[in-house]
Structure 1
Amino acid sequence: MALRQADGGRDGLRRDETGQLLIYQVKWSVNGREKNPVSWLEQVVRDEEDSLRRLAAEGVRQT
């Protein structure tokens, strides 16, 4: 899947051994120089809330 493009909250997909669909989200920093990487990641995840809620409504249980 393409990086840095609208992907609906999915950066990677695969099925596990039971047939469940696994969705991966990759988070990365353009410059890698955040003063507080934990706060940075927390905000990035908060910004994804709408996509995460949509995926949950579609039946996704873990990303």
Structure 2
Amino acid sequence: MPSITAPTLIVWGKQDRILPVAHAHIAAKALPNARLHIFDPCGHHPHLERPKEFNALVLEFLANE
């Protein structure tokens, strides 16, 4: 993953019971240009559980990259 230099948005739910949030922190450390956002409270589907906030986050990320 360190060879991926493109700006990367990592979005995770703090209460994800399928992939624990610790995985998000590992990915963020491995990607040199990563931005990590953790939704709380939120499970495995931030785009479904928090759609307004998710969409705003993605649009802001895309506008600045």
TM-score, length basis structure 2: 0.36
Between structure 1 and structure 2, the one with the greater Rg is: 1
Greater RCO between the two (CA within 8 Å, min separation 6)?
2
**TM-score, normalising length from structure 1?**
0.37
Structure with a larger share of its residues in strand? 2
Please state which structure has a larger fraction of its residues in helix: 2
